[in-house]
Structure 1
Amino acid sequence: MSEKIQSKISHFSAIRFVADRKQALDYYAKLGFWCDYEMGFVEREGLHMIVHESDAEHVNAISPNNEIHGPHAVDLFAMVEGIEELYEEFQAKGAVLHYPLRTNDYQMKEFAIKDPEGYTIGFGESLI
């Protein structure tokens, strides 16, 4: 009798529509992400995104969360190990900060970056 194989989701990819895909991919590549310019894939460790270029009819519909929900809203949040090292690496590579490294009330050290389209990625490390 054969055993039933258990399904497993290995990762997910956030999909982002942008006005200029090459510009977005160049930004992430500069920060050390692997980018597939043909398919629009952006990856670094467990963070995966797919970048699609919006058609001219819908380019005004691009709306990062912080534009709607305020300056502390992010579009994607990733848990990391070595938050201070990642922060220093991104700063050295020219990342645009959405907010700087800080410790919040719920015992998380975090920061966020912003890409050329205004999308934000928060990075955090638990202090407990």
Structure 2
Amino acid sequence: MPDTSNFSHSAVIFPVSNLDDSIDFYTNKLGFENTFEWGEPRYYAVVKRGGVGIHLTKRSDGGRASKYHRALYVFVNDVDKVYKEFKAQNVHIVNDIESRDYKMKDFDIEDPDGFIITFGKNSD
């Protein structure tokens, strides 16, 4: 068995077309806090909410987010509360909240660059 004691945590990095718009979306719509910025002019930022951090970097290659695969699954303690909060903020919800056959209750949103983010809780 490999030694896992040296592994601390991970970060997802989303390449975005407009860093200001993305920071605005994550902070004002989803309730994240902008905790770090880098570059002159700025091309990298980190937003956090609770133990969830998302790194945003100015896209330079013209790539597009997948419309078929989730970019991030965020596990929350009260998925109904998060769903209501995001609905009230007019966040683009692409799949409504539902108990799934894979034993999760979750919903999907889309960020300004098309990244699909799922918020869910175990439904057992």
Query: What TM-score, normalized by structure 1, do the two folds share?
Result: 0.80
Any conservation in 2 of the 1:25–1:37 contact (CA below 8 Å)? Answer: no
Matches within 5 A, 1:8-87: 8-9=7-8, 11-30=9-28, 31-36=30-35, 38-39=37-38, 40-55=45-60, 58-59=61-62, 61=63, 63-66=64-67, 70=68, 73-87=69-83
Unaligned 5+ runs, structure 2? 39-44
Displacement after TM superposition at 1:74 (Å): 1.0
Higher strand share: 2
Letter matched to residue 76 of structure 2: V
Q: In structure 2, what is the Cα distance between the partners aligned to 1:15 and 1:8?
A: 18
CA RMSD of aligned residues (A): 1.5
Cα deviation per residue 1:79-98 (whole Å; 9 max; x = unaligned)?
A: 11100001001111221112
Q: In structure 2, what is the Cα distance between the partners aligned to 1:26 and 1:49?
A: 13
Between the two proteins, what is the percent identity of the paired residues? 27
Unaligned 5+ runs, structure 1? 1-5
Any conservation in 2 of the 1:22–1:37 contact (CA below 8 Å)? Answer: no
Query: What TM-score, normalized by structure 2, do the two folds share?
Result: 0.83
Displacement after TM superposition at 1:47 (Å): 1.4
The total of aligned residue pairs comes to: 113
SS at match of 1:28: helix
Q: Which has the larger radius of gyration?
A: 1
Cα deviation per residue 1:20-66 (whole Å; 9 max; x = unaligned)?
A: 011011000112001146231011112111101123xx12x2x2232
Q: Which runs of 4 or more aligned residues in structure 1 lie more than 2 Å from their structure 2 counterparts after TM superposition?
A: 36-39
Higher helix share: 1
